[in-house]
Amino acid sequence: MVLAHEDDVDGEVWHPYWYGRVLGIFHVLVQHKGESSTCSEVRQIDFLFVHWFGRDNSSASGWAARRLPRIGFLSADDESAFGFLDPQDVLRGVHLIPDFSQIVGNTDMAEDATFTKLYYVNM
């Protein structure tokens, strides 16, 4: 969970957070070489590779609506579905509750694992 970076659009109520699943944690050693380099020391840079969730706006959520926010993965075809994130931007982890009414795939757990298209963000 990270802070959202969006403003109200046309009076629409926005959600204060973005959600993503961490796919990888990376640590790289970098050294800037070149004419404009001011430091030649090697530095470690940490970053996360995430698959972003999008909000399901088909139903109201929040305290007034008495419903949990519902999210689902952005399609892999969407150019903003995957991204890199500074670990310092992460506020906290969240507990996701599968929306069992959205089961996709084989329901026999012995064969293929089932998965849901949507998840509720537990508060």
In angstroms, the CA 70 to CA 58 distance is: 9
* Mean of pLDDT values over 25-32: 94
Position 2 scores a pLDDT of 92
Work out the pLDDT band at 29, boundaries 50, 70, 90: very high
Name the residue with higher pLDDT: 44 or 107: 44
Q: Which of 1-10, 27-36, 103-112 has the lowest mean pLDDT?
A: 103-112
57-115 residue pLDDT tens? 887 888 888 889 899 999 999 999 999 999 999 999 999 998 887 666 655 554 545 56
